Amino acid sequence: MHISASTFLLVSSGLLGLSEASKRTPKNPQTCCNLLNQKFHGQGKVVMQSHPDYTTLNAHWLAASQLSPTCIFTPKTARDVSKAVALFSHHHCVFAIRSGSHMPNKGFSSTDNGILISLSGLDEVSYDRHRHIVKVGAGNRWTNVYNHLDPKGVAVLGSRDSDVGVSGFLLGGGISFLSNKYGWSSDNVVEYEIVLANGSIIKANKYQHVDLLGCLRGGSSNFGIVTSFTLKTYNINAHAAGVVRYAQSSVPQLFTPLYNYIVTGQDADPNYHIIPNFIKDAGQPHRATFTQFYTREVDLSNPPLVMKPFVDGSIPAYNNFVANLTGVGSLPKAFGGGSTLSSPFRSQWHVTSVLADEQLFRTIHSLWLNVSLPYETSIPGFSNSIAMQPIGNKYIQTTNATPGRNVLGITAPLVVISANIYWSNASDDTTMELFLKDLFTKIKAAAAAVGKAAGYEYLNYGGVNQNPLTQYGHNNLVRMRRVKRKYDPRNVFGTLVEGGFKIPGI
């Protein structure tokens, strides 16, 4: 294979840049804040620790994950982000990026050692009804997007929790209530506006920077700071949604209809979407909560066939809050008020995936209960849940049909298994890490024993000790490395941004 001199110089200079960037010593963070303040003098966009707005801007919904950046930068435009990133790159300043900071992983959306870029000022929501698209600023939470679109009778593939930030959700792939019908949320982004490490502002779409387009669909924040997303919209307004809660005695009856839904129902009727979640609080019987969504109104006395087993009372439920609603923004009302905006607890997540198997689902549920049991009395504040979320054929079909193929690497349907734990005391952090490690080691072994291990890890549920990018497959890792070296040759977003999941081998 012949390599031109210009190509050789470009590649070799990029590799040298990566090496040099990793060796440079970061500049003192206070000096960086002062330089940033000079750059934006008098604009009120640089908030020092002594400023009265610092505490509010720095707040994290999980108090245990909150850090103390030296200052906080609050850009209002992509051009603001561009100037700041160019300054950080030139002076080698450590920084962190925050959209919604939904993940509990400490250091993923803040820093104790540099500048926090809070994207909350990038809150544009501009709907184009003729082109059936909406441009969404990266600093939005989904509730703001839904509130803008609901009166217009349209919806996007946003988060199922309206308090989640737009950017991290879409850069991790994104599972939506509409995904059984339209695929991954990221595959419904038609354009990304992104600031690169050198301060350039470019757009990645099916016409330009297609290589970058695919890597932004699941590659997280490794390539730059996305400042806006342009998404497809769909005519969905009236729908059925809510929560059905089952007591411990009903849980064993759920696995057969759950398996049937996963292997046939979600493809046969893609209007329907559920989140199967099993919950155990210390000292309480375990229970199941199945969140329901159907893309149009239903006769609840005679629900669609795919929905029927979960809502018709044949499996006894102690609460059934499914109702016909208007506007996707009404979902938090159906779910009892939406997410908690602040928590005094500590938390960790972990994720894996398996192929569908009814007996394996029962085994995973039993493992979860048995491994959790000793901690219920020994760990103050212990609370624990595990979810089983299917990724069906529509996700794969949409990926195959979308320009800029995503890097997630899924070629066959699977089920995402994710755990979410809470506890009270910092002294128990290591114990809780070991709990998750033990639980998921057993889950993976059980899946492997019956030939049902899948390997994929959904990035948006990834734990602090995981790196889901490593599970995207060899070819996608090669793609991400190649694109990384092209668009961030000095590895600014791998070295100066300390948190987040990094591309291995860079």
Q: Does position 91 have pLDDT exceeding 60, yes or no? A: yes
* pLDDT tens track for 460-476: 999 999 999 999 999 99
Can you tell me the distance from the alpha carbon of 406 to that of 391, in angstroms, rounded to the nearest whole number?
A: 15
- 8 Å CB contact between 459 and 476: no
Q: Does position 79 have pLDDT exceeding 80, yes or no? A: yes
pLDDT of residue 95: 97
| Residue 299: both structure tokens together | 């006769």
If you average pLDDT over residues 19-33, what whole number do you get? 78
Q: Does position 45 have pLDDT exceeding 70, yes or no? A: yes
If you average pLDDT over residues 346-373, what whole number do you get? 97
Confidence of residue 7 (pLDDT cuts 50, 70, 90): very low
Q: What is the dihedral of CA 388, 389, 390, 394, to 10 degrees?
A: 180
Q: Which residues pair with 384 in a beta bridge?
A: 280, 421
If you average pLDDT over residues 393-418, what whole number do you get? 95
The bridge status of strand 71-73 relative to strand 115-118 is parallel
Q: Does position 176 have pLDDT exceeding 60, yes or no? A: yes
Phi-psi region of 337 (alpha: psi -120 to 50; beta: other; left: phi over 0): left
Can you tell me the distance from the alpha carbon of 119 to that of 390, in angstroms, rounded to the nearest whole number?
A: 31
pLDDT over 70 percentage in the chain: 93
If you average pLDDT over residues 148-159, what whole number do you get? 95
> Which residues make Cβ contacts (< 8 Å) with residue 301, sequence separation at least 6?
none
Angstrom distances, CA of residue 276 to CA of 62, 417, 420: 24, 10, 13
Q: Does position 349 have pLDDT exceeding 70, yes or no? A: yes
Can you tell me the distance from the alpha carbon of 162 to that of 36, in angstroms, rounded to the nearest whole number?
A: 32
Q: Other CB atoms closer than 10 Å to residue 68's CB: what's the count?
A: 12
DSSP calls for 142-179: HHHHHHHHGGGT-B-S--SSTTSBHHHHHHT----TTH
pLDDT over 90 percentage in the chain: 84
Q: Which residues pair with 415 in a beta bridge?
A: 354, 390
Q: Does position 15 have pLDDT exceeding 60, yes or no? A: no
pLDDT of residue 26: 85
- 8 Å CB contact between 64 and 345: yes
pLDDT of residue 339: 45
Of the two residues 13 and 138, the one the predictor is more confident about is 138
pLDDT of residue 23: 62
* pLDDT tens track for 232-291: 999 998 899 999 999 999 999 999 999 999 999 999 999 999 999 999 988 889 999 999
If you average pLDDT over residues 407-421, what whole number do you get? 97
- 8 Å CB contact between 249 and 325: no
Set out the domains of the chain in order of their start, with CATH numbers. Answer: 5-119 (3.30.43.10), 125-235 (3.30.465.10), 239-471 (3.40.462.20)
Can you tell me the distance from the alpha carbon of 135 to that of 150, in angstroms, rounded to the nearest whole number?
A: 15
* pLDDT tens track for 278-319: 999 888 899 999 999 999 999 999 999 999 999 999 999 999
pLDDT of residue 63: 84
- Give the up-direction half-sphere exposure of residue 334: CA atoms within 13 A in the CB hemisphere: 26
Of the two residues 395 and 22, the one the predictor is more confident about is 395
Is the pTM higher than 0.85? The answer reads yes
Confidence of residue 342 (pLDDT cuts 50, 70, 90): low
